[in-house]
Amino acid sequence: MSTELARLVRAALTEDIGTGDRTTQWTVPEGARGSARILARSAGVVAGVDFAEGVFAEVDDDLSRDWRIADGARVTVDEELLLVRGSLRSILAAERTVLNGLARLSGIATLTARFVAAIEGTTATIIDTRKTTPGWRRLEKRATVAGGALNHRMGLYDMVLIKENHIRAAGGIRRALEAVMPHAEAAGLDVEIEVTTAAELEDALALSPDRILLDNMAPRGLAEAVARVAETDPRPLLEASGGIDLASVRAVAATGVDLISVGAITHSAPALDLSLQVDR
């Protein structure tokens, strides 16, 4: 278990168990052993097995865990994800933290998979954003990959993305790019800039960024941008963003953009319905 994952697991368990699981201590005899199963109550794509494993190991590494699935696996209603055996006190102490993490991350993977399926057959790729739960970004971005997406930048440090407020503060698109490009080249970082109009696109193309983010453009504007950029050399990647949902994503992909970033796959994904049941 990585240091980062261990820190998240311990924080989650401290939040839930605190000074002790009083209910389990007072209802389950010490030394009682048994088994339990995690079952899917809705269909979806699983993610977060490593988090769940970390929780069980932190609570009681003597628990035997027999996973029937892995991250990225599709599950159906009532399908068994895990059989865990050992101390019943340990299983019940770990239950809620395991289910919270597994359900949250599987929900992200499931919603991501729906977006990926919606653009099947096009040349576009779904990517995630930085709209993640504080502290959980790496796990949530791994969940989008389990659902079939690609990761955008991990944070502010590993790529330059010049957005509207940067442009305003710098005094315009060209000034922002001129200020950034030498530093980015020296640091080996890709540069992306946000544009909202055809005129802004022309300003951006003059400085040859690696990517151009087409923000809140209608499909017609996106298609025109794709046609315009096809004439350039080197050609930047085009990313569409802004309010894209399952109803509109297919039309966006059909314009020929390379990437479609969707914040909803992390910030608005409903948890996958899972339950843990102790065997009688």
Enzyme catalytic residues = 96, 131, 163, 194, 215
Place of tokens 């951006």: 204
Judge whether 217 and 229 are in contact, CB under 8 Å. Answer: no
CA dist 254 and 195 (Å) reads 20
Place of tokens 């790529």: 159
Q: Which residue type sits at 39? A: L
CA dist 132 and 277 (Å) reads 30
Buried residues in 171-201 as b, exposed as e (16+ CB within 10 A): eebeebbeebeeebeeeebebbbbbbeeebb
E strand intervals along 76-203: 80-87, 125-127, 160-162, 191-195
3-class DSSP state of 38: strand
Residues 6+ away with beta carbon under 8 Å from 273: 40, 41, 42, 103
Say how far residue 7 (Cα) sits from the centre of its chain.
19
Judge whether 96 and 71 are in contact, CB under 8 Å. Answer: no
